[in-house]
Amino acid sequence: MAGLTHFDAKGAAQMVDVSEKPATARRAVARGWVAMAPETLALVTGGTAAKGDVLGVARLAGIMAAKRTAGLIPLCHPLALSKVAVDLAPGADRVEIEATVATTGPTGVEMEALTAVSVAALTVYDMLKAVDRGMVIGGIHLTLKEGGKSGRYEAR
Listed in sequence order, the residues at least 6 apart from 80 whose beta carbon sits closer than 8 Å to its beta carbon are 103, 105
CA distance 121 to 136: 9
Q: Where are the alpha helices (DSSP H) in 68-155?
A: 69-72, 110-128
CA distances from 102 to 23, 25, 40, 67, 107 (A): 12, 7, 33, 11, 11
For the question of residue 126 being annotated catalytic, the response is yes
- Choice among 17, 87, 93, 126 that is catalytic: 126
List the beta bridge partners of residue 32.
Answer: 97
**64 neighbors 57 (Cβ within 8 angstroms):** no
The catalytic residue positions are 126
